[in-house]
Amino acid sequence: MLTIGGGPLSMHPPQRVNYTIDGPAHKLMMIDFPRRVRATFAGQTVLDTRAGTLLYESALLPQLYVPETDINTALLTPTDHSTHCPFKGDASYWSVSVDDRTAENAVWAYPTPNEAATWLTGYRAFYWKAMDSWHDEDEEVFGHLRDPFTRVEVVPSSRSVRVLIDDAVIAETHNPKILSETGLPNRYYLPWEDIRSDMLEHSETRTYCPYKGRSTYWSLRLGDELIPDVAWCYENPLNDAIPVLGHACFLHDRLRVEVDGQPLA
C-alpha cells in the first residue's frame, strides 16, 4: 500500500529512489475512487456516490470520503462530539438514526480543515462498521473498500516449507503457494495433503479480507492443550486468492515455520 509498510507515503518510505518527496513526514493525498459506492443502515440507503474519494494518510489505511450531496442527511443528527487531528483539523460528528436504531457518531467531517487539507471541505466520512452493508457497484464488500494500489498475487513454488511445534512436524511440503500482498510479508500456503490435519480442530474465529475473502481458522490439539487459531484457509476465496483454495497458512507465536531450512522472520 502507499501509506503503510515501505510505501512511498509511509513513515518509512523506500530509500533507493531517484526522487525526493518534500513535505511533512505525515502525508495526506486524496484520489478519486473509480466506482459507485453505497452504504445502508436499518434498510435505508445512507450514501450513494459515484464521486467518492480515498484519503491516503501515512500509517493508516485509505479512508473513503463522500460528497455531502451524496449523503441522505435527513438521517443524520449533529452531536457535540469532536476530535482534533494535527494534520486535518477539528472534526465534527453526526449520528445516523432510522426508527429505533442509532449509530452514534458514525459520520465525521472537517468543516474548516487545515490549510494543507482544504480539499476535505464538503466531504464526510463514515465508520465502516457503523453501517449494516456496503456495496462496491453491485458487489457487497466487507472490512473496507479495495485499495486500487494494492495487489494480491499467488504463485506456485518448489521451496521446502516445514511447520513445527517444539520438535513435532505439523506440516511439510515442497509444493507451497506463495501469496504476495502489497505492504505485507509473503505468506506460505501449504496443501492440505501435506498437513497433519488430525492435529487440527475447527475454530470459531472468522475474519474477512476484501482482497482474499472470508477465512476459516484452525486450532492445534497438542495432548490436553488446545492452541487457538494457528492456521487459516479460504474455503470460498475471491478471484485473486483462488489459487490458495485447498491450502492453509500457519502463523502463531508457538510455531516455528521454516522455509528452505531457515526460520521464517
Q: What is the CATH number of the domain that holds 246?
A: 2.170.150.40
Write out the residue range of the structural domain in which residue 192 sits. 152-263
DSSP label at residue 78: E
- What pLDDT is attached to residue 8? 82
- What pLDDT is attached to residue 48? 98
- Same domain, residue pair 56 and 112: yes
pTM of the entire structure? 0.83
**What is the CB neighbour count within 10 angstroms for residue 34?**
10
The pLDDT-based confidence of 3 (bands split at 50, 70, 90) is confident
Helix (H, G, I), strand (E, B) or coil at 176: coil
- Same domain, residue pair 184 and 133: no
- Same domain, residue pair 193 and 168: yes
The pLDDT-based confidence of 122 (bands split at 50, 70, 90) is very high
Alpha carbon distance 232, 190 (integer Å): 11
- Same domain, residue pair 60 and 32: yes
The pLDDT-based confidence of 31 (bands split at 50, 70, 90) is very high
Written as nine digits, the cell of 42 is 436499518
**What's the whole-number average pLDDT of the chain?**
94
- Among 111, 141, 171, the domain boundary falls at 141
pLDDT of 86 over the 80 cut: yes
Q: Are 217 and 41 in contact (CB under 8 A)?
A: no
Residue 65's closest CA among 136, 127, 3?
Answer: 127
- What pLDDT is attached to residue 52? 97
- Among 87, 114, 141, the domain boundary falls at 141
Q: Are 24 and 117 in contact (CB under 8 A)?
A: no
- What pLDDT is attached to residue 4? 79
Return the percentage of the chain with pLDDT > 70, whole number.
Answer: 100
Helix (H, G, I), strand (E, B) or coil at 116: helix
How many domains are there within the chain? 2
Q: Quick: pLDDT tens for 192-231.
A: 999 999 999 999 999 999 999 999 999 999 999 999 999 9
Amino acid at site 15: Q
Q: Are 199 and 226 in contact (CB under 8 A)?
A: no
Largest Cα–Cα separation, the chain: 62
Q: Quick: pLDDT tens for 129-181.
A: 999 999 999 999 998 999 988 899 999 999 999 999 998 999 999 999 999 99
pLDDT of 39 over the 80 cut: yes
Alpha carbon distance 140, 175 (integer Å): 34
**φ, ψ of residue 74 in degrees (nearest 5):** -65, -20
- Same domain, residue pair 157 and 255: yes
* Cα Rg, the chain, nearest whole Å: 22
- What pLDDT is attached to residue 23? 79
Provide the β-strand partners of residue 84. 90
- What pLDDT is attached to residue 265? 77
- Among 141, 176, 202, the domain boundary falls at 141
Phi-psi region of 137 (alpha: psi -120 to 50; beta: other; left: phi over 0): left
pLDDT of 59 over the 80 cut: yes
Q: Are 48 and 105 in contact (CB under 8 A)?
A: no
Alpha carbon distance 263, 265 (integer Å): 6
- What pLDDT is attached to residue 180? 96
Alpha carbon distance 265, 249 (integer Å): 15
Amino acid at site 8: P
The pLDDT-based confidence of 14 (bands split at 50, 70, 90) is confident
